[in-house]
Chains A and B, each alone.
Chain A
């Protein structure tokens, strides 16, 4: 197991170093082949590690690479933890990364910074795998920051565009706020457990007092809201769509943004200790899912719709974590990775065919021009809408069934969100592929062209995965499913057994009915129109004025403070102090220089007098 686990992490790093070291000597094609191959090799190692794991009764391997930090009572090894959770993450991260690397070869063809793009992408995969496989919080934090910085570089990839540059900064700063949470959580855990290694922390997690456990969980939640774009830190993700579309698919849909959910699931034994903390998580997740879904109904940019959809789907995962359904969260994460990567890559293919146009009002009627993109996108659309038997139906159903057991109001919110999901995805689908052709201006009168095979092949694979993804966790195959595989290592998992099979069928029926209603509603509204002030309220289009709120409460006061410092504090207080010291010294020197007369005998006299004074003092002390 040791060599396999090491290789999973090392391959992308090797790819990064190869391309880095060979500088500009490599041609585009060679860079693409190296980048894709190393990630594919990493995927093969993950599959091998998965099968090794299946054939061991003890499903936890710690692979120690070297001792990293060894100070006092703090021992942090550079070690990897291979267990069902980390290997599940590895499988879909490397698998989807490999497909998206392949896609990027076609999508980024001829870009000025092609090499830089693959450098960052490989470094990203390395960091993500480090985050997932680390056996302690410190190493996870290294990966956490690594994916953050790669995300920053890739969002501002077109940095000549001011909007891209500022979107990168926004992503970075929002993530930094979340990182404070992770650091605080680490401090709290170290203070309580005197270790940061996961398995050792879990061993003593039961002894945490409720207050400490709740504080830790809230700190972890802050970390997750930053990285996974949840309320209150979700605004950066839509702006991150300034990056190239493969980046949106890989980092801002399938992998990195789920890191927050992964962290929460990883720390599930600590979450178990704090019912209050988990209730907060559930509320944050449910509300985010709903708010983001409402916003997605009114966006005009195809990628923005998908971005808010991602926020909403991750909200479902966080909600699942909140009610203790960790396996359901991971199931939805995997299924979401399949269909959201598919949808993003499909939208990339559409954008590619229209020479970079992203506004859905200028699309329409593309179905007959894109023979591969259209059917695969169709599958992605049905999957996310929750139509059986696609993966999304099972995954979302699993989450909602668990939520129903624990929190009825949040379940209602989840069902409304499911309706909105079907609605906005259908709107996107209709505006893009159906209706009249409105793109002639963008394509200069030509027909849109289908993308090359390197781009359509990943679409087909992801479409197949979206169709079959539900099989990994069928509700009636409990031991031979993802839940059964993950079960032993998760914290307290509430039994769904309380609900009868009939109730499960009933809940599934509700899911399907709302999804179908969503589809029909969107079809009837958007069949003939491309914009509507009635169904696209400006409040929703402007993201509930969330950015304006931050601007008014944080941005502008801080700017005012900065101007105040510049106008008053800097010239008067700081300069005043500095000049004051100078003036005082100069004035006193004016007086003191008179003493320095230049006559040696005067100095001698001063010495003698001084000596006399000292003598008198000493003599006076004796008597």
Chain B
């Protein structure tokens, strides 16, 4: 069975929208992180889709870069979240506004 490329792209757009909505609406840093991962993987999906459609391996190579960067980002980000949680017993980003202008 041959699924059309457009379906993949629509799925990716939906995933991206869910992720963006989550980032904008949720307060918990942890959930925001998960949403960001969702957005990143939505983009990955488009990369792979186009790579497949156009027969260009470059898109799949890019996906590996994104994965590596995402993994590094999660490592650092979760470390910060844990450190913040230990200090404040909360991961709400709205409370982290000491640096406002």
Contact = CB atoms under 8 A, between A and B. Distances in A.
A617 interface: no
A598 interface: yes
Contact of A601 (B24, B99, B100, B101): B24
A598 B100 contact: yes
Interface in A543-595: 592-595
Given A599-B93, A600-B93, A601-B93, A608 B98 contact: no
Contact of A605 (B24, B27, B94): B24
Contacts of A601: 23-25, 27, 32, 93-94
Contacts of A608: 20, 24
Contacts, number: 35
B99 to A, nearest CB: 6
A616 to B, nearest CB: 16
A598 B98 CA distance: 7
Nearest to B36: A604
B96 A600 contact: yes
A598 B24 contact: no
A600 B98 CA distance: 11
Nearest to A590: B101
B97 interface: yes
Interface in B28-81: 32
Contact of A598 (B25, B27, B96): B96
Interface centre among B96, B98, B101, by most A CB within 10 Å? B101
Contacts of B97: 597-599
A596 interface: yes
Nearest to A611: B20
Contacts of A599: 93-94, 97, 100
B101 A595 contact: yes
A389 B23 CA distance: 113
B87 to A, nearest CB: 17
A596 B24 contact: no
B23 A604 contact: yes
A596 B100 contact: yes
B23 A596 contact: no
A593 B20 contact: no
Contacts of B25: 601
A594 B101 CA distance: 6
Contacts of B20: 608
Contacts of A604: 23-24
Nearest to B99: A598
Contacts of A595: 101
B34 to A, nearest CB: 14
Contacts of B99: 596, 598
A418 B101 CA distance: 87
A596 B98 CA distance: 11
Nearest to A604: B23
B23 A593 contact: no
A176 to B, nearest CB: 55
Contacts of B23: 601, 604
A596 B100 CA distance: 5
A424 B94 CA distance: 99
Contacts of B32: 600-601
Interface in A108-152: none
Nearest to A592: B101
Contacts of A600: 32, 93, 96
A596 B97 CA distance: 10
Interface string A386-405: 00000000000000000000
A364 B99 CA distance: 91
Interface centre among A593, A596, A604, by most B CB within 10 Å? A604
A598 to B, nearest CB: 3
Nearest to B20: A608
B65 to A, nearest CB: 21
A211 B72 CA distance: 78
Contacts of B101: 592-598
Contacts of A592: 101
A409 B23 CA distance: 102
A605 B97 CA distance: 16
A590 to B, nearest CB: 10
A6 B64 CA distance: 76
Contacts of B96: 598, 600
A404 to B, nearest CB: 91
Contacts of A596: 99-101
A31 B82 CA distance: 81
Contacts of A594: 101
Interface centre among B25, B98, B100, by most A CB within 10 Å? B100
A599 to B, nearest CB: 6
B45 to A, nearest CB: 18
Contacts of B24: 601, 604-605, 608
A342 to B, nearest CB: 84
A605 B101 CA distance: 18
Contacts of A597: 97, 100-101
23 contacts: A592-B101, A593-B101, A594-B101, A595-B101, A596-B100, A596-B101, A597-B100, A597-B101, A598-B96, A598-B98, A598-B99, A598-B100, A599-B93, A599-B100, A600-B93, A600-B96, A601-B25, A601-B27, A601-B32, A601-B93, A604-B23, A608-B20, A608-B24
Given A598-B96, A604-B23, A605-B24, 11 more contacts: A593-B101, A594-B101, A596-B99, A597-B101, A598-B99, A598-B101, A599-B94, A600-B32, A601-B24, A601-B25, A601-B27
Interface of A: 592-601, 604-605, 608
**In the A-B complex, the 5 residue pairs with the closest CB atoms:** A598-B97, A598-B100, A596-B101, A593-B101, A600-B93
